[in-house]
Amino acid sequence: MTNACYFTVFKAFNFATGVARQSLSSNCNLKSPFKCSFRKMHMEINKESDSRGALIVLEGLDRCGKTTQCSRLLSHLEELGHSVESWRFPDRNTGVGQMISSYLANKSHLDDHAIHLLFSANRWEKRSLMESKLRSKTTLIVDRYSFSGVAFSSAKGLDLEWCKAPEKGLLAPDLVLYLDISPEKAAERGGYGDERYEQLEFQKKVAQSYRTLCDSTWKIIDATRPVEDVEKQLKQIVMECVLTCQKGKPLSQLWEN
């Protein structure tokens, strides 16, 4: 829901509760204890409506283990009976996603700014579905998000703030799990394929760009540990986040300020 919508709903709710309060106190001459319990009820209604699924993003360099860990987290949460889905960006199934896929496979060439905006559009086309899933209490485990967009494009030399601009207004993750590994170590894992960005020198620049994006929602995980160790750490952090969102936490937007 946008800020404007929230404000309108909030105003309507306040108006309705104000009218009810007035009529209650004038009809029955009710005093403060009733006002207190009314306020408590008001807060509980708001809290209940903020209960939702968690938006959890995995980020990191090529081959750091994101896809491996996303599928393990999905199975874990499913086994515990949570409503959960695994998403990934780019989503290559949409029309925009197919253009991106062709670009990554070096089958088409696009201006750096143009491809950046396509990656962003690919997230915008999923934004409303993302919001409705979260509000209907489904947790989303997302393999790459806006941070990949900004890190990869700024590593090409595009201005960082320019790269962030089209991402503003997308939903902010509750948790970003950054799987930390050096570009050299990552390259040893099965080697790079034929996609456009799978080169050591470029990955070093991406690693630097990622560092500038880290904020309080990030958890840095040592991705050089064995798969099972990484999984164990992630499960603990993820469960805390899922429970916090279940109890009630408002959705917020990425890079609002």
Binding site for ligand Z5A (CB under 6 A): 60, 62-68, 89-90, 104, 119, 143-144, 148-149, 152, 189-190, 195, 197-198, 223, 226-227, 230
Nearer to ligand Z5A, 52 or 58 (CB): 58
Nearer to ligand Z5A, 30 or 105 (CB): 105
Nearer to ligand Z5A, 139 or 148 (CB): 148
Nearer to Mg ion, 159 or 188 (CB): 188
CB of 186 to ligand Z5A, least distance (A): 8
CB of 92 to Mg ion, least distance (A): 12
**Cα distance between residue 207 and residue 213, in whole Å:** 10
Phi/psi region, residue 190 (left: phi>0; alpha: psi -120 to 50; beta: rest), is left
Nearer to ligand Z5A, 139 or 146 (CB): 146
- Residue 95's binding partner among ligand Z5A, Mg ion, none (Cβ under 5 to 8 angstroms by kind) is none
Q: Which two tokens stand for residue 7?
A: 């404000």
CB of 183 to Mg ion, least distance (A): 16
**Cα distance between residue 162 and residue 2, in whole Å:** 23
CB of 54 to ligand Z5A, least distance (A): 20
CB of 40 to Mg ion, least distance (A): 47
Q: Which two tokens stand for residue 128?
A: 């409303």
- Residue 90's binding partner among Mg ion, ligand Z5A, none (Cβ under 5 to 8 angstroms by kind) is ligand Z5A
Query: DSSP string of 114-141?
Result: HHHHHHHHHHHTTHHHHHHHHHTT-EEE
Q: Which amino acid is at 140?
A: L
- Sequence-distant (6+) residues with CB within 8 A of 211 are none
For 220, the 3-state DSSP assignment is strand
| Residue 67 interacting with Mg ion (CB under 5 A) | yes
List Cα–Cα distances, 146 to 15, 59, 92, 121, in angstroms. Answer: 38, 10, 15, 11
| Residue 68 interacting with Mg ion (CB under 5 A) | no
- Residue 164's binding partner among Mg ion, ligand Z5A, none (Cβ under 5 to 8 angstroms by kind) is none
**Cα distance between residue 51 and residue 246, in whole Å:** 5
Q: Which two tokens stand for residue 197?
A: 């960005």
Helix (DSSP H) and strand (DSSP E) numbers for the chain? 11, 5
**Cα distance between residue 186 and residue 189, in whole Å:** 5
Nearer to Mg ion, 61 or 171 (CB): 61
CB of 176 to Mg ion, least distance (A): 16
Q: Which stretch binds Mg ion (CB under 5 A): 59-67, 176-184, 186-194, 195-203?
A: 59-67
